[in-house]
Structure 1
Amino acid sequence: MELSTLDYSFIIVFFSIVLGIGIYVSKKSGKSSSEFFLSGRTMPWWLLGLSMVATTFSTDTPNLVTDLVRTTGVSGNWGWWCFLLTGMLTVFVYAKLWRKSNLNTDLEFYEIRYGGKAASFLRKFRAVYLGIFFNVITMSAVTLAAIKIGGIMLGLEPWETVISAGLITVIFSALGGFKGVVYTDFLLFFVAMAGAIGAAFYLVNIPEVGGMQAILESEHVRDKLNILPNFSDKKAVITILIIPLAVQWWSSWYPGGEPGGGGYIAQRMLAAKNENHAIGATFFFNIMHYALRPWPWILVALASLVVFPDVASISAAFPNVPADKLGHDLAYSAMLTKLPSGLLGVVLASLIAAYMSTISTQLNWGSSYIVYDFYKQQINPNATEKQMVAVGRLSTVVLMVLSAFLALAMQNAMGVFNLLLSFGAGTGLIFILRWFWWRINAWSEISAMFSSGILAILLETTSLKPFLFDPETGLMPDWAELPFIMVFTSVVWLAATFLTQPETKEVLRSFYQKIQPGGPGWNKVVDEARAEQVEIVNSQEKWSVPSGITAMLLGVALIYSLLFATGYWIYGRTTAAFILTAVAIVSGILLIRAWNRMKDNLL
């Protein structure tokens, strides 16, 4: 595919602006580790919210959505739509707790909530486990998508894509730090949205597709349109809808969808001006991420079924694509090759923007773990601010190199998504409860982390998985894999919790005094402290979790209604669209009232 001078102009201008931002903020970002990783905790909600949206607007996401739509239909997206529930729980319950903690990274939480060597080990181990291992896997999945896009649209070899896509990203990430990431995310968001919407509108109407009505009537598309699975298909309902909504959202740890908040979402909450800005940022992110942004990708995926109904048709159209990179996810890139000059440049710039936003965030977030939670804790406790910034920049480069090598060996983003879900299955409940139940200790988290990880590896690398889950010969149906890991992990961590000593009263009282979580799960600690004439309740704020859960449910109703209504407007099903739009409006009004009551709890 040939790029015109206009296309190259869009891309060159875009790269120049991004590099300019990184260079512009590099001096201030290098002043201290707080500036490099949190921008001095001065960020407003709207900028952080846009940054969260831009970060999750990665090159692998449209590929993943395309894969889901082409293989299981639009309803297959419930595998990630379900994380709206934990997102809303983070907004109305956990965002203010994270900002109140005033930590540098979410891993510092371990040494204010737990004590002793177990807490120290947990913090350092997860710094490596998440900051390097998980982070590299996530970035490699994003880079894999870039490789596929480069191969299909530009005819680039995988190594050429890795070098060209990664070089500028790692330069501005290492120079600009968190402030550079957030400032460029503001630009990247609008470029990425413009590209996604423009591509969807054009591709739906190309002659090979024939418009929205032709898509709806296509024999290859008709059974893929439903937003909910076919309820006559018991297996589809269980795997696509019931397990994600009943189990997955609260039990699984997944980057960007951590129960109770965490990772780069927590990093942005910690960088907010105050608690209200942390709440506003996460709420804005969830509306954009779930309600509005998926549909341009879904439309392109549906259109691709008309043009490329199977993988063989993609292979025939692009014979130079290596066999180990072929899959349904390639259909998104294949469709983009049909864009005209000018729009092609905008879309390519938007894909580059999506890639750079995600990778730069992952790099800064991962290096913050390495600096604060490993280097300063384990190697150089007396490290100066200058040394920590230097290590942060060095680790940024190393993480990029590791993810690039892993990406060259990968094949499919869907496999990575499922692997990460398996690794985190069963750990999510701890992340939700540890703020509100005094009995959870460091060994609870350590046992959950190792049991879920080891079991996931065993299922993927041995004959244990077909023995247990093969529908014909196994002991359980294949959809039971995630619930099995969750139940096994939960039994292990609950046993570890009650078989080990609780945290000391000094640790528990110190945590309560700092965070003021409230609730019946801390009554024992509060009552014992009062019996010793020690007052640890120093806030007049009423326990807001019941009101927060009400607000969460209303927020879920609002966003799911908007998601469905948008889809039905596109499908031309106006009656359902009107009803769901009305539900969204009513949910929004009730949510505003619930939020005002939460604020009124401050006496």
Structure 2
Amino acid sequence: MAGAYLNALDGVVIALYLGVLLILGVYLQGRASAGLRHYLVGDRSMPWWMLGVSGVMDFWDLAGSMVIVSFLFLLGPQGLFVEFRGGAVLVLAVTMLWTGKWRRRSGCITSAEWMLFRFGDNRAGRAAQLARVVAGIAITTGLIAYLAKSAGLFLSMFLPLTPAQCAMLLIGTATIYSMFSGFYGVVIIHALQFLIVLIAAAAIIYLCVSQTPDFAALQDVAAQVTGNPDWGATLPAVRVAMPAGYEAYEPLLLLAGLYLLRNVLFGMGAGDDPKYFAAKSDVDCAKLSLLWITLIAVRWPTMMAIAVLGVVAVGAALPDPAAVREAVAAVNAAYPDGDWDQITARIAASRATAPTELTNDLRQALGDDWPTRLQLTTRQGTVNPERVVPAVLLYAIPPGLRSLVIVSLMAAAMAGFGAWINQAAGLFTNDFYLKHVRPAAPVREQINVTWAFILAIVTAGLTFAYSATNINDIWSWIIMGLGGGMIFPQMLPLYWRRFNGFGYAAGMIAGLTAALAQRTAASMLPPVYEVLNEEWCMLLVISVVSLIAAVTGSCLTSPTPAAVLQDFFNRTRPFGWWRREREFLPRAQQAAINAENLRDLLALPVALTYQVAIFLAPMLLVVQKWTHAGVCFAVALAAFAILYYAWLAPMEQTTPQEDLL
């Protein structure tokens, strides 16, 4: 380890954490290997609160944390509104209210198996099932690449290794314990990881509040460091100041509204997370989601505290923007091409063998600590916001506490990774291998195939990671590219009876193909984003292509058999275009379904208000905007009361229908 940054105590803490994970993974192997139902959904035996805590760690990932901190560093609390695109997980409001329980009612254990429930075990249903497998594997590959890129950037600041070597070290460790423990490991290890994260969060927030200046002084420092004169504003401005490479996010208010709409649309087709399939009842789906939303709110003041510490630390480390530009110009002259992060990491790691003239120039511009400070820059000569997290750990977190924070971020990285590969492995083994290759495969073979698949998809993700320029580049493509191609195929089966399996397969494959084509051709396209930013061009084109293919595929092929549709409606009880199936039910049951659906829909704006307010309020406390924080807390409390008494309490009091599972 880099002795200047990590002492012996830091090394012991990190080694102890990794050892505990491996022991737990081996210990849980026996339970996970009892069969696919155990491996993928824990035999539906786990309590709702553990599933809710597990969900928090699914979304508290290292890569996401670095992206969130980068925008909070650039914008202050307004950075939350950029993360409406995905990091704020607003889709949870929709999955909490209706899509989570709708998916659970099927009794399936994977999202691809659900396709057979919706479309029937026929050619159309199997086509949809296979398309869902392909989509799940594609998006998981992207998520692994997302983690690899961020893990490399993060750990290379502390270890004498390149970002690629650091990524392989972290992901290799996570792969071993995730393979063995299955869903049991995902949930139980997530509980341990959440406890670590919670302790680290409290320490970071305390350190920030006790060591940073009041809001007015902080805003002055932030304006100097970031170039944003309105740093610290609470509500999204019509237009904000952004550095080179981030100009697409300048129309913040417009983007926040569009991101919110995108989240609602995506949420209307979501709910196929393994935790919902693993829930015991509809009420458990609601409770685990509400707990999930409430606990993940802790992430936002933690990220805000890191961003504030970053503003102060970077301001002290790089006080002269002209010197930064001078250093970057020297590196650009010596290395005009190649990945900037890899180049600066190699220069820093091999300072003794780097060109003498270059190292002299860097020392003169940045001081004796130039190897570390160089890695805080971009090729454009600005501060790299994606390096703020490691900068804070180097300059603002004392030894001892530093190891705890590093472990908490590693825990977040490994937690998300474990959930992703568990879900993708389930799709491959349950819905491809057992359906199309070896239907009679014994349990031991099923587990071995799952392990082999995990190794293959991890290798593919690592390979893809280094075709991206930065973390935000990968995240943007996953959310707006791959995600855009999935919006309508995922949504239409729940609300439109005429939509069939061939339509789903056509829409999903067309969307994925368009996303991959965009990724391949992006560098060859002319700059046409002056009117609409690149993310939204990508989303609109890919989602429209997917929608046209989905509707065309459905209309040109036979409808789903009436018996399959009736069974789906009787068990799922969705709203939408289901008049024929609804009319087969007794009037009293129709009235009960209509009342439930209306209650779910009316609760949506309340749930979104609660989610945004409970995220924003503690962030404002961190930057010491006391009045604004008080208003947000009051709004969150009122929204929670409405949710509980008008939505959750009636659900708990309603006599449940016969358990379909």
TM-score by length of structure 2 reads 0.80
User: How has the CA–CA distance of structure 1 residues 391 and 328 changed in structure 2, closer, same or farther, with 3 Å as cutoff?
Assistant: same
2:40 and 2:522 mapped to 1: Cα distance?
A: 43
**1:329 corresponds to 2:329:** no
Give the alignment of 1:448-459 within 5 angstroms: 448-459=507-518
1:345 and 1:520 mapped to 2: Cα distance?
A: 51
Supply the AA of the counterpart residue of 1:470.
Y
Give deviations 1:403-458, integer Å, cap 9, x for gaps: 23333444311111111112222642443342232122123322322333333344
What SS does the corresponding residue of 2:476 show, helix, strand or coil?
Answer: helix
Counterpart for residue 255 of structure 1: none
| Number of residue-to-residue matches in the alignment | 582
Give deviations 1:158-211, integer Å, cap 9, x for gaps: 3432343123312211221110121111011121232244235435666xx656
Counterpart for residue 229 of structure 1: 236
Counterpart for residue 27 of structure 1: 30
- Alpha carbons 1:229, 1:240 under 8 Å: kept: no
After TM superposition, give the deviation of residue 128 of structure 1 in Å: 3.0
2:40 and 2:412 mapped to 1: Cα distance?
A: 21
- Alpha carbons 1:204, 1:211 under 8 Å: kept: no
- Alpha carbons 2:573, 2:593 under 8 Å: kept: no
User: How has the CA–CA distance of structure 1 residues 101 and 540 changed in structure 2, closer, same or farther, with 3 Å as cutoff?
Assistant: farther
**1:260 corresponds to 2:269:** yes
1:419 and 1:479 mapped to 2: Cα distance?
A: 8
1:210 and 1:204 mapped to 2: Cα distance?
A: 8
Give deviations 1:100-129, integer Å, cap 9, x for gaps: 211111111111111432321221233133
The one of 255, 260, 269 aligned to 1:245 = 260
1:96 and 1:518 mapped to 2: Cα distance?
A: 10
Supply the AA of the counterpart residue of 1:578.
G
**1:522 corresponds to 2:522:** no
- Alpha carbons 2:304, 2:619 under 8 Å: kept: no
Supply the AA of the counterpart residue of 1:442.
G
- Alpha carbons 2:304, 2:622 under 8 Å: kept: no
- Alpha carbons 1:86, 1:260 under 8 Å: kept: no
User: How has the CA–CA distance of structure 1 residues 49 and 119 changed in structure 2, closer, same or farther, with 3 Å as cutoff?
Assistant: same
After TM superposition, give the deviation of residue 538 of structure 1 in Å: 8.2
Counterpart for residue 438 of structure 1: 497
1:464 and 1:398 mapped to 2: Cα distance?
A: 28
Supply the AA of the counterpart residue of 2:415.
S
Give the alignment of 1:300-449 within 5 angstroms: 300-308=306-314, 317=370, 318=372, 321=375, 327-338=384-395, 339-420=397-478, 421-425=480-484, 427-449=486-508
The one of 273, 279, 286 aligned to 2:293 = 286
- Alpha carbons 2:61, 2:413 under 8 Å: kept: yes
After TM superposition, give the deviation of residue 137 of structure 1 in Å: 1.5
Counterpart for residue 104 of structure 1: 109
User: How has the CA–CA distance of structure 1 residues 442 and 577 changed in structure 2, closer, same or farther, with 3 Å as cutoff?
Assistant: same
TM-score by length of structure 1 reads 0.87
What SS does the corresponding residue of 2:150 show, helix, strand or coil?
Answer: helix
**1:158 corresponds to 2:167:** no
- Alpha carbons 1:251, 1:427 under 8 Å: kept: no
User: How has the CA–CA distance of structure 1 residues 390 and 450 changed in structure 2, closer, same or farther, with 3 Å as cutoff?
Assistant: closer
2:516 and 2:649 mapped to 1: Cα distance?
A: 47
Counterpart for residue 596 of structure 1: 649
Q: Which moved more, 1:516-525 or 1:582-591?
A: 516-525
Q: Which moved more, 1:583-592 or 1:121-130?
A: 121-130
Counterpart for residue 48 of structure 1: 51
**1:297 corresponds to 2:300:** no
Counterpart for residue 581 of structure 1: 633
**1:542 corresponds to 2:593:** yes
**1:127 corresponds to 2:133:** yes
2:533 and 2:452 mapped to 1: Cα distance?
A: 47
User: How has the CA–CA distance of structure 1 residues 480 and 375 changed in structure 2, closer, same or farther, with 3 Å as cutoff?
Assistant: closer
**1:469 corresponds to 2:548:** no
User: How has the CA–CA distance of structure 1 residues 142 and 89 changed in structure 2, closer, same or farther, with 3 Å as cutoff?
Assistant: same
Counterpart for residue 561 of structure 1: 613
The one of 501, 505, 511 aligned to 2:558 = 501
In structure 1, list runs of 5 or more residues that go unmatched: 253-257
What SS does the corresponding residue of 1:435 show, helix, strand or coil?
Answer: helix
1:381 and 1:562 mapped to 2: Cα distance?
A: 48
Supply the AA of the counterpart residue of 2:48.
W
After TM superposition, give the deviation of residue 320 of structure 1 in Å: 7.2
Supply the AA of the counterpart residue of 1:27.
G
Supply the AA of the counterpart residue of 2:291.
F
After TM superposition, give the deviation of residue 361 of structure 1 in Å: 1.4
After TM superposition, give the deviation of residue 480 of structure 1 in Å: 4.9
1:231 and 1:520 mapped to 2: Cα distance?
A: 35
User: How has the CA–CA distance of structure 1 residues 333 and 432 changed in structure 2, closer, same or farther, with 3 Å as cutoff?
Assistant: same
User: How has the CA–CA distance of structure 1 residues 558 and 167 changed in structure 2, closer, same or farther, with 3 Å as cutoff?
Assistant: same
1:590 and 1:159 mapped to 2: Cα distance?
A: 49
Q: Which moved more, 1:449-458 or 1:411-420?
A: 449-458
- Alpha carbons 1:376, 1:383 under 8 Å: kept: yes
Percent sequence identity over matched residues? 19
Give deviations 1:299-355, integer Å, cap 9, x for gaps: 322432344367868975426759999942012112211221110111111122112
User: How has the CA–CA distance of structure 1 residues 574 and 95 changed in structure 2, closer, same or farther, with 3 Å as cutoff?
Assistant: same
1:270 and 1:77 mapped to 2: Cα distance?
A: 30
After TM superposition, give the deviation of residue 138 of structure 1 in Å: 0.3
1:307 and 1:59 mapped to 2: Cα distance?
A: 20
2:269 and 2:258 mapped to 1: Cα distance?
A: 19
